[in-house]
Structure 1
Amino acid sequence: MPSPTVSVLMPVFNAERYIAAAIESILAQTFSDFELIVIDDGSSDQSLAILKSYAAKDNRIRLVSRANTGHSRAINEMLAMANGKYLARMDGDDICMPDRFQRQVDCLNAHPDVVAVGGAVQWIDQDGDAIRMFSVGETHEEIDAAHLAGVGGAISHPAAMFRRDAMLAVGGIREETHLAEDIDLFLRLAEIGKLMNLPDVVLKWRLHPASTGATKTRQQHEVKVRVLRDAYERRGLAVPAELAAATADVGDDSPGATQRMWAWWALEAKNVNAARKLAWSALRQSPLNRSSWMTLLCAVRGY
């Protein structure tokens, strides 16, 4: 049996609310020459049962279940299992646009110097309502400069497709960079090839209270600073003074503050429905915070 063109790598942990929609979006791709490798990373909810039901119906799905060892290790395990020329990342709570794989395969086929390609993403809330679109830049120079400046997500990891040989060449995910493994990976890939983003939305990325970026902001910042210092040193560049003196002062990273930020993003994008839900959530998290009331007032008003 010939190897598939694409291996989809999807770690899953307690995603019972979203996993069916994620898998359906993969199975509905216009490009069908793929295998879907899923590691259930010790879920305690119904994720595994849902995954088993899909694996029983589609032989492209390769399912592994084991005790929890973490997101980064799961990706490396799936990298070792992959047969495809290209690797598509996907998380269990996101949704692929139907032509994502076709567009990214076409891009990598047309640009042999590109080692990873992403695209714009649409941030959505728990219910799937739009918050805002996110995109940093399309060219290698824009993306790499953003990463060196500490802007995470210049390529969104769960929206990316990689050359498998490039991922193997850089050693996959460095597990010690957990919480900032995406920016670390792309900085290392940029040292052996080019990065690129497609201009159109390729993924709906779900933001919810359990998201890593919503719960571990300070720890994430500390690891990112270490990753950036490593990158400057590898490239023989002087570490910027502001980075050398960087601290983990990321401001208010409470759940209420995160929900307020998301509400403002939605409001600025005129996605009023999501803005109102997020503002109510922020108020429930921090009812005595004046900013929460102001955010709700603006969301109810619609501007």
Structure 2
Amino acid sequence: MLTFILDNEDPWAMAKTTSCLGKTPCEIVPLKTEIAWRMQACLTHYREPFFLTFRAGDQIKPGFFQKMGEWIRDLSENCAGLMAGTKEGLLLPLVWRTKAVKSLSISKLDHFPFEHYALQDLQSRLSVRWRWKEVDSDHYLPNPVAPPKWMNRETEWQLTKPLLYTRPPAARMNGRPTVSIVICTYNDGGYLSWAIRSVWAQTNPDWELIVVNDGSTDQTREVLSSFQGEPRLTVIENGKNLGKAKSLNRALGAAKGEWLLELDADDWLTVDCVEQICTHASKRPHATLFYGNHHEWRERANKTLVYSGLRHNPSPINKEELLSTGLPLAPRCYNTSILRKMGGWLCSDPFEGRLYEDFQMLLRLEKQDKVHIPLALYHRRIRKNSITHREAEKYAIWKNWVKEKGSAMSEP
């Protein structure tokens, strides 16, 4: 029987699992990255009705396969498989129905930033159409070794689980959306699908999504093509790289929503972000900007993420503090009509709106009505190779330009 083992990069844990499976009728396939896609690729020519998954470090006792045969015999045709509990209190799929997994549409371009939750992710996708059966057996011994505390796995799971398991209400297809969510992306195709997925998971469906592909030369077009046919998605293609401000202005021209919410291609929204914005906007319809708090994640060299805490954004926003610290505010949701009256984002700075366009707009709105929502509504990824980090020395030049420009930058 085909048996996948999720490798957590611990050779001792992998050896422990393969050792206890060594004398069983298993064809072992270790998986590290692109787990869903590689699993489905291995299943292409697989003909048996079921297969197994373990995490490195899991073990089984003698008699496991006999017990598994009893479980399978009692499994109804509409069940995707069997789930077993772990030491962390999680339920993980253990036995999978091959037909169910093959029915999923999984692309190599799908980017999932938490590979150690890949099984939960697949199980969630299948749960839309299939049932699962929970089993409790002494024959299955989940990995007893907990990950290091610095990984913050308990918090990480609590923050990731809603995106995997939230079932959003049906889309509102008629009328004007309340929120236009805008993603401007340049060569961030490896991150883009997770950002888009966070939009699709929103508990309030009163939104449209506008993606501006700013002349990307990576797989961005292929990722976007996988979302073709989605009625609430508009894709704008820049023939060449124009920069963030010009891309935002193109999105502003196409936006139908009363509010414009920015989302960076390598970040993602909490599932209730749009819901909270709509609730507050109904009470403060003449506000200029809504902004909230955000969770921060540090990207390691191998692209994995480590949770580094909740960031509370200041209220009110202080111009001098904003300039001196370069403090990012996320999320930022603007009144669309006011943005248009202002002519959108300026492109007249020394870098033509390619850098610090977020600070620029916040400074121009200094005297306007800005509302802080005291909730975490956004997940921000910190990358060493991001534009902000690569171009940090240019901030002093831009800050001097702001000071020279003075009141001329302010709203009309």
How much has 1:144 moved relative to structure 2? 4.2
Higher strand share: 2
Tell me which structure has the larger Cα radius of gyration.
2
The match for 1:3 among 168, 173, 176 is 176
Contact 2:211 2:235 (C-alpha < 8 Å) held by counterparts? yes
Contact 1:135 1:154 (C-alpha < 8 Å) held by counterparts? no
> What SS class does the counterpart of residue 266 from structure 2 fall into?
coil
CA–CA distance in structure 2, aligned partners of residues 176 and 234 of structure 1:
10
CA–CA distance in structure 2, aligned partners of residues 154 and 68 of structure 1:
23
Q: Report the residue type matching 2:373 in the other structure.
A: L
CA distances 1:125-151 after superposition (whole Å, capped 9, x unpaired): 232321233233133xx444533x533
Contact 2:292 2:313 (C-alpha < 8 Å) held by counterparts? no
Contact 1:187 1:231 (C-alpha < 8 Å) held by counterparts? no
The alignment status of 1:39 with 2:212, answered yes or no, reads: yes
Tell me what 2:234 maps to: 62
CA distances 1:249-301 after superposition (whole Å, capped 9, x unpaired): xxxxxxxxxxxxxxxxxxxxxxxxxxxxxxxxxxxxxxxxxxxxxxxxxxxxx
Contact 2:296 2:309 (C-alpha < 8 Å) held by counterparts? yes
Gaps of at least 5 residues in structure 2 are 1-173
Going from structure 1 to structure 2, the CA distance change for 1:128 and 1:174 (only over 3 Å counts) comes to same
Please report the RMSD computed on the Cα atoms of aligned residues, expressed in angstroms: 2.0
Tell me what 2:384 maps to: 209
Tell me what 1:162 maps to: 334
Going from structure 1 to structure 2, the CA distance change for 1:119 and 1:64 (only over 3 Å counts) comes to same
The alignment status of 1:136 with 2:310, answered yes or no, reads: no
| TM-score normalised according to structure 1 size | 0.70
Q: Structure 1 residue runs of 4+, over 3 Å off?
A: 142-145, 231-235
Q: Report the residue type matching 1:152 in the other structure.
A: G
CA–CA distance in structure 1, aligned partners of residues 241 and 277 of structure 2:
31
How much has 1:96 moved relative to structure 2? 0.3
Q: Report the residue type matching 2:381 in the other structure.
A: R
Q: Report the residue type matching 2:376 in the other structure.
A: V
Aligned length: 228
> What SS class does the counterpart of residue 348 from structure 2 fall into?
helix
Going from structure 1 to structure 2, the CA distance change for 1:55 and 1:224 (only over 3 Å counts) comes to farther
Greater relative contact order (Cα 8 A, min sep 6): structure 1 or 2?
Answer: 1
Gaps of at least 5 residues in structure 1 are 236-303
Tell me what 1:196 maps to: 371
How much has 1:55 moved relative to structure 2? 3.0
Tell me what 2:69 maps to: none
CA distances 1:196-226 after superposition (whole Å, capped 9, x unpaired): 2222211111111221221001112211231
| TM-score normalised according to structure 2 size | 0.52
Going from structure 1 to structure 2, the CA distance change for 1:234 and 1:208 (only over 3 Å counts) comes to closer
Contact 2:364 2:409 (C-alpha < 8 Å) held by counterparts? no
The match for 1:88 among 250, 261, 282 is 261
Tell me what 1:120 maps to: 293
How much has 1:155 moved relative to structure 2? 2.8
CA distances 1:53-110 after superposition (whole Å, capped 9, x unpaired): 1133x21000122322111110000001111111111111101001011111222221
> What SS class does the counterpart of residue 59 from structure 1 fall into?
coil
How much has 1:234 moved relative to structure 2? 6.1
The match for 1:222 among 397, 400, 406 is 397
CA–CA distance in structure 1, aligned partners of residues 217 and 341 of structure 2:
35
How much has 1:40 moved relative to structure 2? 0.9
Going from structure 1 to structure 2, the CA distance change for 1:228 and 1:201 (only over 3 Å counts) comes to farther
CA–CA distance in structure 2, aligned partners of residues 190 and 155 of structure 1:
14
CA distances 1:142-200 after superposition (whole Å, capped 9, x unpaired): 444533x53333633xx111110111122211113321221121111233x21122222
State percent identity of aligned pairs: 23
